[in-house]
Amino acid sequence: NAGVTQTPKFRVLKTGQSMTLLCAQDMNHEYMYWYRQDPGMGLRLIHYSVGEGTTAKGEVPDGYNVSRLKKQNFLLGLESAAPSQTSVYFCASSQREKLFFGSGTQLSVL
Amino acid sequence: AQTVTQSQPEMSVQEAETVTLSCTYDTSENNYYLFWYKQPPSRQMILVIRQEAYKQQNATENRFSVNFQKAAKSFSLKISDSQLGDTAMYFCAFSLPTGTASKLTFGTGTRLQVTL
């Protein structure tokens, strides 16, 4: 049972580089989310989606873009990475109030 | 906007003892959900327990139970018979009722160390 799968698990970028984080869920959930986790700050919502073809801003959306072209996938993009985007990124999905999380992506921007 | 506060950055408990982690929240809503998530060193976010605000009865899951005080906006987690595997970060979280995306608001976490 895969659940929520994130790729890659680790990545190092140089300032100004771009990259895309991929999230895939096999539970047919309508809702998907991207969070970031920083030391001492808990998890904060970046963007979320309420269904295929829809996206919405969360608490900290600046510097990120997302797309949900297929129901099972939710992509998080960084167009021009900055050191402030060094963080652990979590994807999650839900059908109701219970969220299922991926195992996270450790991103370092040098 | 909702806020969640965890005032204990770190706690320690001996194996087999009981420990209580504190969480307070602020909201003007009457109906909502509260959660405790566990994050072990593996980084995986694991749902420990869930409470619906309209239910007066405190939720329990095996060794884990909550003390939900709606008027005081308090939601503490009690871990009984602590085990070494309980060592982890614990996050309290809040969400409004479903019908739309369940956007969680997290506290800053409490690091729990279980010792021999």
* Cβ proximity of B32 and B44 under 8 Å: no
**B25: closest CA of chain A, how far (Å):** 14
What does each C-alpha distance from B56 to A23, B3, B52, B94 come to in angstroms? 37, 21, 8, 17
Q: Is beta strand A105-109 parallel, antiparallel or unpaired with respect to A65-67? A: unpaired
When scoring B35, B43, B91 by the number of chain A Cβ atoms within 10 A, the one with the most, hence best to mutate, is B43
In this prediction, residue A98 carries a pLDDT of 86
pLDDT of B99: 65
* Joined tokens for residue A3: 């659940």
Closest approach of A20 to chain B, Cα-based (Å): 21
- Rounded Cα distance between A101 and B2, Å, is 22
> pLDDT 10s per residue in chain A (110 long)?
679 999 999 999 999 999 999 999 999 999 999 999 998 888 999 999 999 999 999 999 999 999 999 999 999 999 999 999 999 999 999 988 889 999 999 999 99
Q: Give A92's contacts in chain B (Cβ within 8 Å).
A: 45
Residue A99, SS3 per DSSP:
strand
Here the tokens at position B116 are 């021999």
The stretch B79-102 carries a mean pLDDT of: 90
Backbone angles phi, psi at A83, to 5 degrees: -55, -30
Residues in contact with B49: Cβ distance below 8 Å, sequence separation at least 6, in sequence order: B35, B36, B59, B60, B61, B64, B65, B66, B77
